[in-house]
Amino acid sequence: MNDVRWLNSDELQAWKKFVAVVELLPGVLDSQLQRDAELSHFEYFVLAMLSEAPDRTLRMTGLASATNATLPRLSHVVARLEKRGFIERTPCLEDRRATNARLTDVGFEKVVDTAPGHVTTVRENVVDPLTAADVDDLDRIMTRILSTIDPEHRFNPGALGETQPTD
């Protein structure tokens, strides 16, 4: 097992910077949301995904997939958000094993109030330092990486149309 293909200089340099971003970015997003809305980025993302769904409702499994989370993690988080009145859980009628998570009116308000500050943070730290070409490159590169690490290949088909206050 001595035939290891080490990273060359360019690859190593890019990788180190990528690691730094992956390490630092969550903290940036979390602290703004924590400060302004008492929400972690993941919690915000859960609410945002629900706000886009038909009838603001998604099954736990679907929501887990939309937020790149494991089911146990999501279960804990939704339980907390339910206690705070942002989400309500109801049994699913078609499949009685399943649970529907629905964004309440209060939860929707929360997203609407929180979105502007969050988008500003995303712009300042990620989007605005990039050119339009960079954004295309970023999309292409992330798509390629996701093709390996995304367990469900949700992003491959490449649907998605115009959207709104999403994120």
Chain residues that interact with DNA, rule: CB under 7 A: 27, 30-31, 34, 40, 42, 59-61, 64, 69-80, 89, 92, 95-99
Do strands 87-91 and 57-59 pair parallel, antiparallel, or not at all (unpaired)? Answer: unpaired
Distance CA 101, CA 91 (A): 9
Residue 25: closest CA among 166, 122, 130, 111: 122
Distance CA 112, CA 122 (A): 16
Which residue, 152 or 162, is less far from DNA as judged by CB?
A: 152
3-state secondary structure of 129: coil
Residue range at the interface with its own copies (CB under 8 A); choices 74-82, 85-93, 100-108, 123-131 = 123-131
Site string for its own copies, 40-79 (x = CB under 8 A): --x--x---------------------xxx----------
CB of 164 to DNA, least distance (A): 25
End-to-end CA distance of the chain: 45
Residue numbers at the binding site for its own copies (CB under 8 A): 1, 4-7, 9-26, 28, 42, 45, 67-69, 115-116, 119-120, 122-127, 129-130, 132, 134-150, 155, 160-167
